[in-house]
Structure 1
């Protein structure tokens, strides 16, 4: 009995996905030409996005005489602001989907391509280490 319960629990946990995007704010100008793409996105795609992603809260805020922007807030407390000035509706849709799929963690440049807890004094092993030394 206990083993069947354990397998059922692991089946539920295995496929669980938690979207890291918590809130998205669409800020636009009612009259500005640079906000045309975002206004089209709000009129056609924003409701579909909100219905497909009920875990994400969508705010629409008009800001007169300002360029349009999208502000994303993630579960880890990070904020990400993206300018969507003069972008088309399809490009803005791609930006919103990209924000939905991201985790909010900033990328860090790696110093090395490998990681070790105990670095070697001799250096990294390569297949050419066992070849005889030739002095050219």
Structure 2
């Protein structure tokens, strides 16, 4: 009787074969009248946002003119959305935030205290001292 392997569908991993940026859409909301939106209006008028859009062609930029404080909304591939308030910021600060959050993965930050983080199961399985029979355990 031949041995058959268990069919497992391939797992898509970003960077293996192709790279897809995690951020796919940025919405820039600003007010045409309010003073807190001066930095966003400067960014739109001096052409720095056009240069950023040309560098990142895979990101869709959506500009919304709406009353209220300016806001940057980042949409990521893992269905997460981050909203950043940018009231009273200069155009340089807003551009810095745009670059920083567009390169982000969209995942929440966490501290991992182990040396290796892997999505693959171990070949040898789980090991602990309790998996050894009592007669073979080390005695002090």
TM-score normalised to structure 2 length:
0.67
After TM superposition, list the pairs within 5 Å mapping 1:108-119 onto structure 2.
108-110=110-112, 113-114=113-114
Change (3 A) 1:86 1:115: same
In 2, the alpha carbon distance for the partners of 1:109 and 1:54 equals 32
Question: 1:19-71, CA deviations, whole angstroms, 9 ceiling, x for partnerless residues?
Answer: 1110000000001110000111122222111111110000000112x000000
SS at match of 1:71: strand
SS in 1 for 2:108: coil
Q: Taking structure 1 as the reference length, what is the TM-score of the superposition?
A: 0.69
Count of aligned positions: 106
How many Å separate the matches in 2 of 1:104 and 1:69?
Answer: 17
Please list, as runs of the form range in 1=range in 2, the aligned pairs for 1:68-79 lying within 5 A after superposition.
68-79=70-81
Give the root-mean-square deviation of aligned CA atoms. Answer: 2.3
Question: Is the alpha carbon distance of 1:50 and 1:120 closer, same or farther for their aligned partners in structure 2, counting shifts above 3 Å?
Answer: farther
Unaligned 5+ residue runs, structure 1?
1-12, 122-136
Relative distance call for 1:120 and 1:95 in structure 2 (3 A) is: farther
The structure 2 residue matched to 1:49, chosen from 45, 49, 52, is: 52
Once the two structures are superposed, the pairs formed by residues 46-125 of structure 1 within 5 Å of their partners are 46-64=49-67, 66-110=68-112, 113-114=113-114
